[in-house]
Amino acid sequence: MIFLLLTIVFIILRVMPGDPIIALIGMRAPPEHIEALRRQFLLDKPLYVQYFHYISNFKPIYVPYFPYISVDLGTSIARDPGIPVVSSIMLRFPATLELAISATIVSVIIGVLTGAYSAHKRNTIADRSLRLYSMIIYAFFIPWLGMMLQMVFAVQLGWLPLYGRADIGMEPTRITGLYVLDSILTLNFPSLISSLMHLILPSLVLGLVLSGVYTRLTRTNMLDVLRQDYITAARARGLPERTVVYKHALKNAFIPILTMMGLQFALLLAGAVLTETTFSWNGLGTFLTESISYRDYPLIQGTIVFYAILVAFVSLIVDIIYAIIDPRIRY
Amino acid sequence: MKGSGRLLTLAGVTISALIAIIALLAPIIAPYDPIKSDVGGAFMAPNSQFLMGTDLHGRDVYSRILYGSRTVMLVALASTLLSLIVGVPVGLLSGYVGGKTDRVLSLVMDSIYSFPGLILAIALAAMLGPGVVNMSMAIAVVYIPTYFRMVRGQVLSVKENLFVEAARAIGAKDRTIVFNYIFPNVAPSIIVVVSLNIADAILTEAGLSFLGLGITAPTPDWGFDLKSGQPYFPGGRWWLITFPGLMIIIAVLGFSLLGEGLNDILNPRLREGE
């Protein structure tokens, strides 16, 4: 699957109509400069030569149970000249990972709670409004929602910071690159508070927009589960309705949610690009748009390839977790 | 259909129709030229003369929003049409022929499908350069697999029906079977997907423009105007971002409600079990 994705990235970047160098450098660049760049990226060679050169950059090393890929994505030409693309990406990836993890937590918590409540109170006004919510929230354009929350919580109320990952000078010593985790590891509490405060709005925005799917899914599953015999049995034993719904039923509505988390991962990454731009969050998404504005071709290609690998990797992880949770599934 | 469902469908139809009317009649309704500077002072708050205020260059935000619907709808419709034209025939072919062709095509389409849509569109838009046509092409590629997967899946199930076997028995050509027997059964679902696809395309278009990869200034566009207003809202100029963003949400909501409604009407069997 990774090779297929890599091939598609290649097709997109090389075979699509249009000359990437001209698109990036602009028509007015001196012709010899354009020619030199073409030679550098082998764009003057036939396509199949380009393809084999490109694929040969990826040297997969398989360690049992842990797929590891060594990748040479070349070096940057404009943004940070001479520095390997991989190290630039690795510098920015933790920020996206941190945002993705907290946004997922937010979306699952909101989605599961609203979904369960909706199923519990089905066909009431609460249920109807929550179903409407799950439909409407997807339409919320992330930058707009982000700016509205910034306007209320940062500009008007001044409770939360407007931009960035931490106050200036508050960045923790880099260990993993995840600010929250690093501040805990270095026991730097001012940093921890600063990073958490900065994390709230971005993860809330991204989490809210993605939560609608979980609301719908949890509601449907809960309605199914609530019809099962063991729920009737629990009710017959005289357990309070709340215990039945939120303890017995909710647990069993969880497996499809895990699947959905895997499926939503692509949407999460795409949403993260917009969230990062809105909140000046120094992650992969802003890195990609910066690389584009620097017209740095190796960086753009490298980042897209990295996204492809990430998607493939996560779908593998989800399959593995799925097999562990549900013993009926064997690959 | 139940009361609340009908109400939502109606809302979807109304909103979508309104957006289409605004896009068509923008030159007539708009009070000012959307790209003309200094029709008012810079950064005037909404008032009776400028309903949604003015921007940095003293342009009328309201007129820009009305004209912006043209850019957005043009890109959304063009990209939807493009992915429809490519996705549906390839899906029909893949599902009907089966075998190796089907496996290869499905593999390719599934890989594109698994890739984050907006990021794919960003890469394509960066390579193709800005402009309405290029942006439509970039967005179209992202949504081709949606049509392919849906059509292929439907063909696979329709193909097993007795009437297809009967058609084959009376000696109908493959082409006739595909277009006269199978396609009409797939068509209703395509209409639903188109409507939902327009909603998604509007979101992607707004995303691309917001990131500065869509159209170039001074063309009015909701995502682009939202981006242009971003530096000024912390200073209290809320109107610059509020209205373009609201329009995006309303338009997306309109077309997704329309799609959901059509789904209920055209595929009654698929209705969610209550």
Give the ipTM.
0.86
Distance CA B212, CA A49 (A): 33
Distance CA A14, CA A20 (A): 7
pLDDT at A9 over 80: no
Residue pair B83/B197 in contact by the 8 Å Cβ criterion? yes
At residue B130's C-alpha, the angle toward residues B124 and B132, to 5°, is: 100
Strand, coil or helix: A75: strand
Q: Do the Cβ atoms of A23 and B141 come within 8 Å? A: no
pLDDT at A206: 94
User: Which residues of chain A lie closer than 8 angstroms to B116, CB-CB?
Assistant: 266-267, 269-270, 307, 311
Which tokens hold the place of B165?
A: 């076997």
Distance CA A272, CA A289 (A): 12
User: Which residues of chain B lie closer than 8 angstroms to A162, CB-CB?
Assistant: 234
Place of tokens 């979980």: A214
| Exposure letters A42-80 (e unless 16+ CB within 10 A, then b) | ebeeeeeebbeebeeebeeeeeeeeeeeebebbbbbebb
pLDDT at A139 over 80: yes
The number of residues making up chain B comes to 274
What's the pLDDT band for A65 if we cut at 50, 70, 90?
Answer: very low
Minimum distance, in Å, between the CA of residue B16 and any CA atom of chain A: 14
**Kind plus residue range of the DSSP H or E element containing A196:** helix A189-226
pLDDT at A46: 67
Of A16, A145, A273, the CB nearest to B124: A16
Distance CA A248, CA B224 (A): 49
pLDDT at A70 over 60: no
- CA dihedral (A288, A289, A294, A295) positive or negative: positive
User: Which residues of chain B lie closer than 8 angstroms to A308, CB-CB?
Assistant: 115
Distance CA B223, CA B244 (A): 7
A279: nearest CA partner in chain B: B230
User: Is the pTM of the predicted complex or chain greater than 0.80?
Assistant: yes
Q: Do the Cβ atoms of B236 and A270 come within 8 Å? A: no
| Residue B169 CB burial class (10 angstroms; 0-12, 13-18, ≥19) | exposed
What's the pLDDT band for A211 if we cut at 50, 70, 90?
Answer: very high
If you count residue pairs, one on A and one on B, with CB atoms under 8 Å apart, how many are there? 140
pLDDT at A63: 41
pLDDT tens per residue, range A10-60: 766 665 555 556 655 665 666 676 677 666 666 666 667 777 776 666 655
B203: nearest CA partner in chain A: A141
Q: Do the Cβ atoms of B141 and A12 come within 8 Å? A: yes
B224: nearest CA partner in chain A: A143
Q: Do the Cβ atoms of B108 and A4 come within 8 Å? A: yes
- CA dihedral (A148, A150, A153, A158) positive or negative: negative
**Kind plus residue range of the DSSP H or E element containing A70:** strand A66-71
Decide which of A170 and A181 is more confident.
A181
Distance CA A4, CA A311 (A): 12
DSSP H helical ranges for chain B = 3-29, 61-97, 99-114, 117-128, 132-158, 162-169, 174-176, 183-210, 222-229, 239-266
Choose, out of B15, B16, B118, B238, the residue to mutate when testing the contact with A (most A CBs < 10 Å).
B118
pLDDT at A17: 53
Minimum distance, in Å, between the CA of residue A266 and any CA atom of chain B: 4
A27: nearest CA partner in chain B: B129
Q: Do the Cβ atoms of B249 and A143 come within 8 Å? A: no
Q: Which residues contact A275 (CB under 8 A, 6 or more apart)?
A: A99, A103, A142, A146, A202, A205, A206, A281, A285
Residue pair A287/A89 in contact by the 8 Å Cβ criterion? yes
pLDDT at A191 over 60: yes
Of A139, A162, A267, the CB nearest to B253: A139
Q: Do the Cβ atoms of B116 and A144 come within 8 Å? A: no
Of A128, A267, A311, the CB nearest to B4: A128
Distance CA B75, CA B83 (A): 12
Q: Do the Cβ atoms of B119 and A307 come within 8 Å? A: yes
Decide which of A6 and A178 is more confident.
A178
Q: Which residues contact B101 (CB under 8 A, 6 or more apart)?
A: B93, B94
Neighbouring-strand partners of residue A58: A71
Minimum distance, in Å, between the CA of residue B233 and any CA atom of chain A: 7
What average pLDDT score do residues A55-79 get?
58
Phi, psi of A330 (to 5 degrees): -130, 135
Phi, psi of A77 (to 5 degrees): -110, -25
Q: Do the Cβ atoms of A5 and B107 come within 8 Å? A: no
pLDDT at B254: 93
What average pLDDT score do residues A68-78 get?
64
Place of tokens 């809960």: A222
pLDDT at B9: 87
Minimum distance, in Å, between the CA of residue B248 and any CA atom of chain A: 7
Of B111, B128, B234, the CB nearest to A18: B128
pLDDT at A64 over 50: no
pLDDT at A304 over 70: yes
Q: Do the Cβ atoms of A162 and B234 come within 8 Å? A: yes
| Residue A235 CB burial class (10 angstroms; 0-12, 13-18, ≥19) | middle
Choose, out of A14, A141, A153, A274, the residue to mutate when testing the contact with B (most B CBs < 10 Å).
A141
Place of tokens 């099962």: A228
pLDDT at A272: 92
Q: Do the Cβ atoms of B122 and A289 come within 8 Å? A: yes
Phi, psi of B217 (to 5 degrees): -60, 150
Q: Which residues contact A71 (CB under 8 A, 6 or more apart)?
A: A57, A58, A59, A86, A305, A309
Ranges in chain B, pLDDT < 50: 271-274
B8: nearest CA partner in chain A: A132
Choose, out of A144, A156, A279, A309, the residue to mutate when testing the contact with B (most B CBs < 10 Å).
A144
The least confident of A11-15, A84-88, A122-126, A302-306 is: A11-15
Place of tokens 């694929």: A55
Distance CA B222, CA B66 (A): 9
Q: Which residues contact A154 (CB under 8 A, 6 or more apart)?
A: A160, A161, A162, A201, B234
pLDDT at A254 over 50: yes
Report the mean per-residue pLDDT for chain A.
79
Of B126, B206, B207, the CB nearest to A292: B126
Residue pair A139/B249 in contact by the 8 Å Cβ criterion? yes
Neighbouring-strand partners of residue A84: A75
User: Which residues of chain B lie closer than 8 angstroms to A271, CB-CB?
Assistant: 118
DSSP B25-93: HHHHH-SS-TT-TTSS-TTPPP-SSSTT-B-TTS-BHHHHHHHHHHHHHHHHHHHHHHHHHHHHHHHHH
DSSP type of residue A141: -
The least confident of A61-65, A197-201, B154-158 is: A61-65
Q: Do the Cβ atoms of A144 and B241 come within 8 Å? A: yes
What's the pLDDT band for A61 if we cut at 50, 70, 90?
Answer: very low
pLDDT at B261: 86
